[in-house]
Chains A and B, each alone.
Chain A
Amino acid sequence: MATPTLSRVELDYSGGERLTMNMGPQHPSAHGVFRAILTLEGETVVGVDAVIGYLHRCHEKLSETLTYAQYPSIASKTDYVAAMTSEFAYVMAAEEIGKIEVPKRAQYLRIVTAELQRVASHLLWLGTWCMDMGGALGGGATIFLYCIRERELILDLFESLVGARLLYGFYQVGGVRYDIPSGWAQSCRQTIDLIEQRIGEYEGLLEQNPFFMARAHGVGVISRELAEDVGIAGPLLRGSNVNFDLRRAAPYSSYEDFKFAVPVEAAGDCFARYRVRMAEFRESIRIVRQVLDGLPEGAISSRPGLKSVAQVRIPKGEAYSRVEGPRGEVGCYLVADGSAKPYRMKWRGASFSNLAVLPHIIPGHKVADVVAIMGSVDPVFGEVDR
């Protein structure tokens, strides 16, 4: 049996040699399955190749085999952290082609759930991002557990409304599936009051922590020009000094009835993105209060009780509908051929475009910053890979 020869490699420690390092696909900071092949010079990243697709479930092909009544509950599985948003985009596209009216009460209920979902999604982002940055808050898991505790309260609200905690199937073409049960509005108000108060506590915890500030300030700067060219959206775009929010720029589902601000930050770094999301918590809570105050009576769907495939059909046509999700513009491009199933459906996943900016901004940073930058992008891999 031949013994393996051991040879000693003399390394050049002048800092000139390059090392290829695999980050992922099971790195905890990715919050999913993402592999970054980093090229390093010492501690500094000089090149990134991003590998995605580990969670691909052929949503677009699948949608061609499911009717307009069936797919919305599958749509929630694209972005599973904000399941309401994807359902919202899909049913809006079908309604636009079919020119289907949505009752006012259903439009308002859609807004309540979409905004609560935004709060829940941002809570998960805040907790996990701060945990990734470890040293912040002495160990890091403190704020994670606080955020998860608050997110549970919102999931409780969804559970009493829909019966499910994470993947809902709440939206349907023409309206929503369930009306709010008695007492729901009251417990919703209590929950958002509590969360609003605690958001202030988290800001205090984080912004008085020098480690957090050092890791977030000036790291991962995205210029406005790069942001638009790559097509990043949502809090990332607004963190790069672009005042664009679909709820304001192209109001859908009666968003024009409510008063809210669009937070914008100029710096384009991790801290700017953090500030935008913290302000969005409060604006979402403000919208939820206004909707509950002005919730009109009436039907919750214009097409209740579908009994045959003929009722599901949507005329020939095409539409691109988009909603402002927690991670930005979630779009659904739908081509209908007159049958009960789409001819072609394309998801514009916000996380897919947001993640595509990483190869442009990571080079030049230290390996530790890659974790902070990735967390500040808030990717959800169900939406990236679809």
Chain B
Amino acid sequence: MTRDQAATLIAEHFAGAQVQAGAALAVTVPVEQWQSFARFVKDTLGCHFFSFSSAVDWKEQGLEVIARVDNLDDGLGVLMKTRLGPGVSECPSLVPVYRGANWMERECYDMFGIRFDGHPDLRRILLGDDWQGHPLLKSYAVDTPYPPYR
């Protein structure tokens, strides 16, 4: 499956999806379709390989969750994106579709405070359990001392 074939299939099945121009396939879908889109990418486009997922904080425009998956046989990679909207930090989890999303979403929760709905074990992974705040948010004050580290 080539990039253009995949883009056509996505446009047929997901009317709300926006495919970015460029050599790599980057697709933005509404947050309600996040999980069903992931399942479509896995089953129909053959992207069985879960590369990573993370987020970007666009300040007043809110958070954007991203995930990258690959079809290793055809060399096709899909960068999936969704915008949560200003002030929103809830997102459906991809763990039911990809087991690799488990630790990635825990890291994302740790760093951005995004609560993944349907995640089996959502707790901090890199920072300590008693850590306050979510450091990769742009609003996180880097120079302010946080307990227990001062």
Chain A residues with CB under 8 Å of chain B are: 52-53, 56, 58, 60-61, 65, 225-226, 228-231, 242, 244, 249-250, 320, 329, 331, 333, 335, 343-344, 346, 348, 352-353, 356, 360, 385-386
> Residues of B contacting A229 with CB < 8 Å?
48, 50, 98-100
> Residues of B contacting A360 with CB < 8 Å?
99
> Residues of B contacting A225 with CB < 8 Å?
48
Whether B50 and A230, one on each chain, are in contact in the complex, defined by CB atoms closer than 8 angstroms, is yes
A-contacting residues, B65-92, CB 8 Å:
66, 68, 72, 75, 77, 79
Q: Is B142 an interface residue (CB 8 A)?
A: yes
Whether B52 and A331, one on each chain, are in contact in the complex, defined by CB atoms closer than 8 angstroms, is yes
Whether A329 and B51, one on each chain, are in contact in the complex, defined by CB atoms closer than 8 angstroms, is yes
Task: Tell me the complex Cα distance, A292–B114, Å.
Answer: 49
Whether B68 and A320, one on each chain, are in contact in the complex, defined by CB atoms closer than 8 angstroms, is yes
Whether A356 contacts B103 in the complex (CB less than 8 A), given A52-B125, A385-B126, comes out as yes
Whether B51 and A331, one on each chain, are in contact in the complex, defined by CB atoms closer than 8 angstroms, is yes
- 9 of the cross-chain contacts (CB-CB < 8 Å) are A52-B126, A65-B142, A230-B98, A231-B51, A231-B52, A320-B68, A320-B77, A335-B56, A344-B57
Whether A228 and B52, one on each chain, are in contact in the complex, defined by CB atoms closer than 8 angstroms, is no
Whether B52 and A353, one on each chain, are in contact in the complex, defined by CB atoms closer than 8 angstroms, is yes
Q: Is B11 an interface residue (CB 8 A)?
A: no
> Residues of B contacting A60 with CB < 8 Å?
111, 136
Whether A228 and B48, one on each chain, are in contact in the complex, defined by CB atoms closer than 8 angstroms, is yes
> Residues of A contacting B146 with CB < 8 Å?
none
Whether A320 and B72, one on each chain, are in contact in the complex, defined by CB atoms closer than 8 angstroms, is no
Flag B49-62 by CB within 8 Å of A: 1 or 0 each: 11110101100000
Q: How many residues of B contact A (CB 8 A)?
A: 29
Whether A333 and B54, one on each chain, are in contact in the complex, defined by CB atoms closer than 8 angstroms, is yes
Report B26 CB to chain A, min CB distance, Å: 8
Report B27 CB to chain A, min CB distance, Å: 14
Q: Report the nearest B residue to A244, measured CB to CB.
A: B72
Q: Report the nearest B residue to A347, measured CB to CB.
A: B52
> Residues of A contacting B68 with CB < 8 Å?
320, 331, 333, 348
Other 17 A-B pairs with CB < 8 A, given A249-B75, A353-B51: A52-B125, A60-B136, A61-B136, A61-B142, A228-B72, A231-B49, A231-B98, A231-B100, A244-B72, A249-B72, A250-B75, A320-B68, A320-B77, A343-B56, A348-B51, A360-B99, A385-B126
> Residues of B contacting A65 with CB < 8 Å?
142
Option from B102, B126, B128 in Cβ contact (under 8 Å) with A356: B102
> Residues of B contacting A61 with CB < 8 Å?
135-136, 142
> Residues of A contacting B9 with CB < 8 Å?
none
Task: Tell me the complex Cα distance, A230–B99, Å.
Answer: 5
Whether A53 and B125, one on each chain, are in contact in the complex, defined by CB atoms closer than 8 angstroms, is yes
Task: Tell me the complex Cα distance, A249–B136, Å.
Answer: 33
Q: Is B127 an interface residue (CB 8 A)?
A: yes
Q: Which of A226, A228, A360, A386 has the most CB of B within 10 A?
A: A228
Q: Is B24 an interface residue (CB 8 A)?
A: yes
Report A165 CB to chain B, min CB distance, Å: 28
Option from A53, A333, A343, A346 in Cβ contact (under 8 Å) with B126: A53
Task: Tell me the complex Cα distance, A54–B50, Å.
Answer: 25
Whether A230 and B52, one on each chain, are in contact in the complex, defined by CB atoms closer than 8 angstroms, is no
Q: Report the nearest B residue to A333, measured CB to CB.
A: B54
Report B22 CB to chain A, min CB distance, Å: 9
Option from A53, A250, A353 in Cβ contact (under 8 Å) with B127: A53
Whether B50 and A56, one on each chain, are in contact in the complex, defined by CB atoms closer than 8 angstroms, is no
Whether A356 contacts B100 in the complex (CB less than 8 A), given A61-B135, A249-B72, comes out as yes
Task: Tell me the complex Cα distance, A274–B8, Å.
Answer: 42
Whether A320 and B142, one on each chain, are in contact in the complex, defined by CB atoms closer than 8 angstroms, is no
> Residues of A contacting B126 with CB < 8 Å?
52-53, 56, 385-386
Q: Report the nearest A residue to B42, measured CB to CB.
A: A229
Q: Which of A65, A225, A353, A360 has the most CB of B within 10 A?
A: A353
Report B102 CB to chain A, min CB distance, Å: 7
Q: Which 3 A-B pairs have the closest CB atoms?
A: A53-B126, A231-B100, A231-B50
Q: Report the nearest A residue to B72, measured CB to CB.
A: A244
> Residues of A contacting B135 with CB < 8 Å?
58, 61
Task: Tell me the complex Cα distance, A331–B67, Å.
Answer: 13
